[in-house]
Amino acid sequence: MIGQEKGRAVSDAGEPTRQYRSVFISDVHLGTRASQAIALLDFLAHYTVYPRADLEAVVEEAARRHGLTYEFRRLHRGYTEYAVLRRA
């Protein structure tokens, strides 16, 4: 559980935490023990997750909804997607 303390996010233990608007996860090999798949899935259960195949459509819709322009490119033979949203 994360709480607020004088404008700073703190954990239940009182330690400062980081807050992110976006998290990008790539190349997780879920079939290996090192991937910690259960921990990853527990983490992702708390957020709206957009599969990579839908990312361009999600960016386009967000840009349209907020009156922004957007640029979307696939790099590195499609392994990386790059999106920039700008005020129109």
Question: What's this model's pTM, rounded to 2 decimal places?
Answer: 0.46
Per-residue model confidence (pLDDT) at position 76: 77
Residues 56 and 62 sit within 8 Å (Cβ to Cβ): no
Q: What is the pLDDT at residue 2? A: 43
Residues (pLDDT < 70) of the chain are 1-12, 20, 50-51
Tokens of 55: 């990312």
How large is the greatest C-alpha to C-alpha distance in the chain, in angstroms? 46
Separation CA 61–CA 56 (nearest Å): 9
Q: What is the pLDDT of residue 7?
A: 53
Which letter, b or e, does each residue of 36-51 get, where b requires 16 or more Cβ atoms within 10 Å of its Cβ?
eeeeeeeeeeeeeeee
* Residue 35 per-residue DSSP state: G
Domain ranges of the chain: 24-87
* pLDDT given at position 11: 64
| Pairing relationship of beta strands 8-11 and 68-75 according to DSSP bridges | unpaired
